[in-house]
Structure 1
Amino acid sequence: MDAPEPRYAFDKPLSAAVGLLFLAVIAFIWFAVIHRVYTEREQAVQAAMQANANLAMAFEQELYRTLKSAEQVAAFVREETARRPGAFSLKDWLDRDVIREPIFTIISIVDANGAILDSTQSATGPVNYADRDFFLAQRDAAHDTLYVNRPVLGRISGQWRIPLSLRITRPDGGFGGVVVVAINPLDLSAFYRQAALGGQDLLAVVGLDGRVRIRQTGQQVEMDESADALPGFQRQQARRNDNFVDAGGAGGVRRLISYRTLADYPLMVVVGTAYDDAIAAAQLRQAHYLWVTGAATLILLAGALGIVLGLARQRATHLALQASETRLTHAATHDPLTGLANRVLFQDRCQRALASARRHRRTLVLLYLDLDGFKAVNDQYGHACGDLLLRQVAQRLTAQVRAGSDDTIARLGGDEFALILGNLPEHNAAERLIQDILAALARPYDLDGRPTRISASIGAVRYPQHGDDLDTLVGHADTAMYAAKHTGRGQFLWWRPGLRA
Structure 2
Amino acid sequence: MAAVSNYEPLEKFAEGSQAAVYLRKHASANLAIVLSCLALIGIAWAWTLDRATFERAETVANAMKQNENLALAFEEHTIRTLKGVDQAISFVKSQYLEHGLKLDIRKMIENGTVDAGLFVLIGITDERGNLVIGSVEFDPVNVAERESFKFHRGNNAEGMLIGKPILGRATRKWVVPMSHRIDKADGSFGGIVFVSVDPEYFTGFYQKADLGEQGAISLMGLDGISRATRIGRKGTVGEDMRATRTFSQQAKNRIGSFLGGGRLDGVVRFLSFRTLAQYPLIVTVGTSEAEVMASFRERERSYYMNAGFASAMVVFFAAFMMAASSRRKLAVEALRDNETQLREAQRVAKLGSWEWHVNTDTNIWSQEHYRIFGRDPTLPAPTYKENPQLYAPESWERLKAVVEETLRTARPYELDLEFLRADGTRGWLVARGEALRDATGKITRLRGTAQDITERKRAEQAALDQFKLAETIFNHSVSCFIVLDRNFNFLRVNEAYARACRREIGEFAGRNHFEMYPSDGKVIFEDVVRTGKPFETFAMAFVFPDQPERGVTYWDWTLVPVLDEQGEVECLVFSLNDVTERKRAQQVLEQSMRQVQALSERMMKVQQEERDDIARELHDELGQTLTALKVNLQMLEPYCADGEAEDHLTEALMITGRALEQVHSITFDLRPAELEFLGLAAVLEAHAARQAQAAGWRLHFEAAAALGRLSPELETACFRVAQESLTNVMRHAGAKQVWVSLGLNGAAVELSVRDDGKGFDADKASDGLSSPSLGLIGMRERVRLRDGRLTIRSAIGRGTEVRASFPIEPAGGREPDANAQTQA
Which residue of the partner structure matches residue 86 of structure 2?
71
- The Cα shift of 1:171 comes to 2.9
Q: Is the 8 A contact 1:22 1:300 kept in 2?
A: no
Which residue of the partner structure matches residue 230 of structure 2?
216
- The Cα shift of 1:100 comes to 2.3
- The Cα shift of 1:192 comes to 0.8
Which consecutive aligned stretches of 4+ in structure 1 deviate over 6 angstroms post-superposition? 21-24
- The Cα shift of 1:85 comes to 1.9
Q: Is the 8 A contact 1:231 1:257 kept in 2?
A: no
> Is 1:290 paired with 2:310?
no
Specify the SS of the correspondent of 2:291: helix
Which residue of the partner structure matches residue 227 of structure 1?
241
Which residue of the partner structure matches residue 180 of structure 1?
194
Distance in 2 (alpha carbons) for counterparts of 1:22 and 1:150: 62
Which residue of the partner structure matches residue 251 of structure 2?
237
* Alignment counterpart, residue 25 of structure 1, candidates 40, 50, 53: 40
Which residue of the partner structure matches residue 341 of structure 1?
none
Which residue of the partner structure matches residue 255 of structure 1?
269
Which residue of the partner structure matches residue 148 of structure 2?
134
Q: Is the 8 A contact 1:162 1:183 kept in 2?
A: yes
Which residue of the partner structure matches residue 107 of structure 1?
122
Q: Is the 8 A contact 2:224 2:240 kept in 1?
A: yes
Q: Is the 8 A contact 1:230 1:250 kept in 2?
A: no
* Pair member with larger Rg: 1
* Alignment counterpart, residue 77 of structure 2, candidates 62, 66, 72: 62
Distance in 1 (alpha carbons) for counterparts of 2:118 and 2:264: 30
Distance in 1 (alpha carbons) for counterparts of 2:204 and 2:314: 56
Distance in 1 (alpha carbons) for counterparts of 2:101 and 2:236: 39
- The Cα shift of 1:277 comes to 1.8
Distance in 2 (alpha carbons) for counterparts of 1:250 and 1:241: 22
* Alignment counterpart, residue 52 of structure 1, candidates 42, 49, 67: 67
- The Cα shift of 1:225 comes to 1.3
Which residue of the partner structure matches residue 445 of structure 1?
none
- The Cα shift of 1:172 comes to 2.5
* Alignment counterpart, residue 93 of structure 1, candidates 99, 103, 108: 108
Between the aligned residues of both structures, percent identity stands at 33
- The Cα shift of 1:123 comes to 1.3
Which residue of the partner structure matches residue 41 of structure 1?
56
Which residue of the partner structure matches residue 148 of structure 1?
162
Distance in 2 (alpha carbons) for counterparts of 1:225 and 1:60: 20
> Is 1:203 paired with 2:185?
no
Structure-2-length-normalised TM-score: 0.33
Which residue of the partner structure matches residue 278 of structure 1?
292
Amino acid at match of 1:30: W
- The Cα shift of 1:283 comes to 2.2
Amino acid at match of 1:194: K
Alignment of 1:316-355 (within 5 A): none
* Alignment counterpart, residue 161 of structure 1, candidates 170, 175, 182: 175
Distance in 2 (alpha carbons) for counterparts of 1:250 and 1:159: 22
- The Cα shift of 1:280 comes to 2.4
Per the alignment, do residues 281 and 108 of structure 1 end up closer, same or farther by CA in structure 2, a change over 3 Å counting?
same
- The Cα shift of 1:170 comes to 2.3
Q: Is the 8 A contact 2:37 2:43 kept in 1?
A: no
- The Cα shift of 1:301 comes to 12
Amino acid at match of 1:145: G
Distance in 2 (alpha carbons) for counterparts of 1:214 and 1:43: 31
Q: Is the 8 A contact 2:152 2:180 kept in 1?
A: yes
Q: Is the 8 A contact 2:214 2:231 kept in 1?
A: yes
Specify the SS of the correspondent of 1:179: strand
* Alignment counterpart, residue 266 of structure 1, candidates 280, 284, 290: 280
Per the alignment, do residues 154 and 189 of structure 1 end up closer, same or farther by CA in structure 2, a change over 3 Å counting?
same
Specify the SS of the correspondent of 2:155: coil
- The Cα shift of 1:204 comes to 0.7
Per the alignment, do residues 33 and 248 of structure 1 end up closer, same or farther by CA in structure 2, a change over 3 Å counting?
farther
Amino acid at match of 1:49: M
- The Cα shift of 1:221 comes to 1.9
* Alignment counterpart, residue 80 of structure 1, candidates 75, 95, 107: 95
Which residue of the partner structure matches residue 7 of structure 1?
none
Amino acid at match of 1:208: L
- The Cα shift of 1:22 comes to 9.6
Aligned Cα root-mean-square deviation (Å): 2.4
Q: Is the 8 A contact 1:106 1:181 kept in 2?
A: yes
Structure-1-length-normalised TM-score: 0.53
Distance in 2 (alpha carbons) for counterparts of 1:118 and 1:248: 42
Specify the SS of the correspondent of 1:251: coil
Amino acid at match of 2:55: E
- The Cα shift of 1:282 comes to 2.2
**Unaligned 5+ residue runs, structure 1?**
1-20, 304-501
Q: Which has the higher contact order (CA 8 A, sep 6+)?
A: 1
Q: Which deviations, in whole Å up to 9, do the C-alpha atoms of 1:399-429 show, x marking residues without a partner?
A: xxxxxxxxxxxxxxxxxxxxxxxxxxxxxxx
Specify the SS of the correspondent of 2:91: helix
- The Cα shift of 1:139 comes to 1.7
Distance in 1 (alpha carbons) for counterparts of 2:186 and 2:42: 83
Amino acid at match of 1:220: K
- The Cα shift of 1:228 comes to 2.4
Q: Is the 8 A contact 1:204 1:215 kept in 2?
A: yes
> When the two structures are aligned, how many residues end up with a matched partner?
282
Deviation larger for 115-124 or 44-53? 115-124
Per the alignment, do residues 286 and 170 of structure 1 end up closer, same or farther by CA in structure 2, a change over 3 Å counting?
same
- The Cα shift of 1:262 comes to 1.1
- The Cα shift of 1:249 comes to 7.1
Deviation larger for 253-262 or 140-149? 140-149
Q: Which deviations, in whole Å up to 9, do the C-alpha atoms of 1:97-144 show, x marking residues without a partner?
A: 3222412251001111101121111113x2111110111122223421
Distance in 1 (alpha carbons) for counterparts of 2:262 and 2:127: 47
Amino acid at match of 2:80: R
Specify the SS of the correspondent of 2:190: strand
- The Cα shift of 1:250 comes to 5.6
Amino acid at match of 1:78: K
- The Cα shift of 1:231 comes to 3.9
- The Cα shift of 1:69 comes to 0.5
Distance in 2 (alpha carbons) for counterparts of 1:196 and 1:154: 31
Which residue of the partner structure matches residue 496 of structure 1?
none
- The Cα shift of 1:229 comes to 3.6
Q: Is the 8 A contact 2:38 2:44 kept in 1?
A: no
Q: Which deviations, in whole Å up to 9, do the C-alpha atoms of 1:46-69 show, x marking residues without a partner?
A: 011001001011111111111111
Specify the SS of the correspondent of 2:70: helix
Distance in 2 (alpha carbons) for counterparts of 1:192 and 1:82: 38
**Unaligned 5+ residue runs, structure 2?**
1-35, 318-824
Distance in 2 (alpha carbons) for counterparts of 1:253 and 1:27: 37
Q: Is the 8 A contact 1:26 1:300 kept in 2?
A: no
Distance in 1 (alpha carbons) for counterparts of 2:76 and 2:67: 14
